[in-house]
Amino acid sequence: MANGETEYFQTLHKRSHLEALDELHREFNVRARCFKRWVADGRLSRTDAQDRIDRLATAIDIVEATLAAESQTNSAAALDDSTA
């Protein structure tokens, strides 16, 4: 990727955690559909397909945990503000 393209994409990556999670779920569903076909066609090994799915599932778990922690922090802060 040329330097100008790298700078362009770096400025576009500002998204919320929820948007990132939505994209991870979308990608998970695409891979689940495509990988079945690619494994059957011999384009991808079953082991590689499962590894990639597992990695993506782990990323989803991490973002979901981050969102849950943020939600708890925000709820606690709102409660503190209302009782002050």
Domain ranges of the chain: 16-83
Scored b (16 or more CB within 10 A) or e, 32-57 reads: eeebeebbeeeebeeeebeeeeeebe
Distance CA 22, CA 16 (A): 10
Distance CA 14, CA 5 (A): 16
What pLDDT, in 10s, does the model give residues 27-67? 999 999 999 999 999 999 999 999 999 999 999 999 999 99
> pTM of the full predicted structure?
0.70
What is the pLDDT, as a whole number, of residue 47? 98
The residue written with tokens 């991490």 in the block is: 62
Q: Distances from the Cα of 14 to the Cαs of 28, 31, 49, in angstroms? A: 21, 24, 29
What pLDDT, in 10s, does the model give residues 2-29? 566 666 666 666 788 899 999 999 999 9
